[in-house]
Structure 1
């Protein structure tokens, strides 16, 4: 009979808190790249590129503009990342039970990530909308609450959910790529023999997962930025409205490469950012396990 000890899963609140701490750590470190990414995605025609956009923002608007719109994502990062990792944990256990498996597989890992992304998308839309409106170079909004007031006044409460469908797809694809790749990379890496080795493995697998998720989801992110960045005119159908038709429109009018506008700043943020997320989450969960003691360790 096997006497191997299997730690008890941590309480939901521990997973939720670990995701929240990781999210805040990541956003404070990499936010300026998100501003540059959004600016590039909102540009029609020839882009200034990463360095040119950075220089243009600093020269014309000041360094502080690189942190414009930080409040909504900062307020969001705690619940957003908390939901991501808590949902991934919940759906992972659910799919394992449904499949009759005792260990995660590649397919289940990818499916779990997609389900976690779908869950996360419902939380983030209003915050993403406010962030995009503030990051736009043409923005005249005074701050987050001014965006909310004007959008609600013109479009009603549902106006805060413009881009829901594109946000859904963006998060489904990114999380599927992220968690699916993490599983593959962790399986390929040598087993860690020390706490430092474990941190290294988590960072590397998270960074590669962040890169993979970004490659897969960037076209959906471009469409989301276009949908949320546009001003709605009553009685007029927006040019960018639904995800897949919008992808075809952009590819036809601007070329397929336009679907990857903002890729460089996005991947420079989300590849190491994905590593930071996983590293902080796993480290924080380890702290919780030690604090709670058996049967969690």
Structure 2
């Protein structure tokens, strides 16, 4: 049966594939996320780069600090990545039905990715908030539950959704770039029949998509880290509150380069990480197709 004729896999298969891929990616690249957050929380002119920040963390706080805050994103990765790929599958089918197109186009791929990212953002905010609080160098929290307790005690349940708006924009732009590039790169790469060739194409297109998504969303990630890392003071308007005004503030006070703080560790994680995500997702979906048999293969 050809690719165009086979039946789409059920939702649970896409959900499980995304979950497995997400956990695989974070276990591989998490220390780079800690370094990225530290660089983004540093205001003013950067004094250390990737290597300097990494060396400083290990020297002053120990190598174990590179996995500080791992539990929230690890708990989050399964639902987050599952929602990402399941939502991308859902929105792709929806837009194809609405537009009457028979197959995905470049513009529909970008729109689908942005919609999947917007959907994903509603799931991730509390986990991201806890992770940022734990990764901060000045953090005195004992662990994830201590963060949750203190934030809820101080700001109520809605305090766990600080940075919701900036997280929305971060995920919208990353997913739009990621899935849009995957579509384009797949079209440009030579078609391969072997399983190894198909997997290599998936890794390359995912890596390129991860790079493009990182270029697009890093300024929004910087703002998100600043908003979620700041302590709220009653009666005082936060310096970083809304995304686009915060982008202007950082640009005016610290220069354009500050909007890309943490870009190197972020791209070193998300470019190959994007490849790993797509590779594991497609491999896992292939396993489901083999297990379910016709008409899925």
Q: Give the alignment's TM-score, normalised by structure 1.
A: 0.98
Q: Which runs of 4+ in 1 moved over 6 A?
A: none
1:273–1:145 Cα change, 3 Å: same
Partners of 1:159 and 1:124 in 2: CA distance: 14
Partners of 2:86 and 2:212 in 1: CA distance: 21
In the alignment, what sits opposite 1:292? 292
Q: Does 1:162 align with 2:156?
A: no
In the alignment, what sits opposite 1:150? 150
In the alignment, what sits opposite 1:36? 35
By how many angstroms is 1:193 displaced?
2.0
For 1:34-75, what per-residue CA distance to the aligned partner results, in whole angstroms no more than 9, with x for missing partners? Answer: 000000000012321100000000000000000000000000
Partners of 2:73 and 2:125 in 1: CA distance: 11
In the alignment, what sits opposite 1:130? 130
Partners of 2:245 and 2:4 in 1: CA distance: 52
Partners of 2:126 and 2:288 in 1: CA distance: 32
In the alignment, what sits opposite 2:246? 246
By how many angstroms is 1:5 displaced?
6.4
For 1:223-250, what per-residue CA distance to the aligned partner results, in whole angstroms no more than 9, with x for missing partners? Answer: 0000000000111110000000000000
For 1:108-157, what per-residue CA distance to the aligned partner results, in whole angstroms no more than 9, with x for missing partners? Answer: 00000000000000000000000000000000000000000000000000
Q: Answer yes or no: is the 8 Å Cα contact 2:21–2:281 preserved in 1.
A: yes
In the alignment, what sits opposite 1:201? 201
By how many angstroms is 1:271 displaced?
0.0
In the alignment, what sits opposite 1:64? 64
In the alignment, what sits opposite 1:283? 283
For 1:78-108, what per-residue CA distance to the aligned partner results, in whole angstroms no more than 9, with x for missing partners? Answer: 0000000000000000000000001000000
Partners of 1:5 and 1:106 in 2: CA distance: 18
1:251–1:5 Cα change, 3 Å: closer
User: What stretches of structure 1 of length at least 5 have no aligned partner?
Assistant: none
Partners of 2:233 and 2:44 in 1: CA distance: 23
Partners of 2:203 and 2:232 in 1: CA distance: 41
Q: Secondary structure of 2:140's match?
A: coil
In the alignment, what sits opposite 1:233? 233
User: What stretches of structure 2 of length at least 5 have no aligned partner?
Assistant: none
Residues 104-119 of structure 1: pairs in structure 2 closer than 5 A = 104-119=104-119
Q: Answer yes or no: is the 8 Å Cα contact 2:202–2:275 preserved in 1.
A: yes
In the alignment, what sits opposite 1:24? 23
Q: Secondary structure of 1:7's match?
A: coil
Partners of 1:6 and 1:286 in 2: CA distance: 16
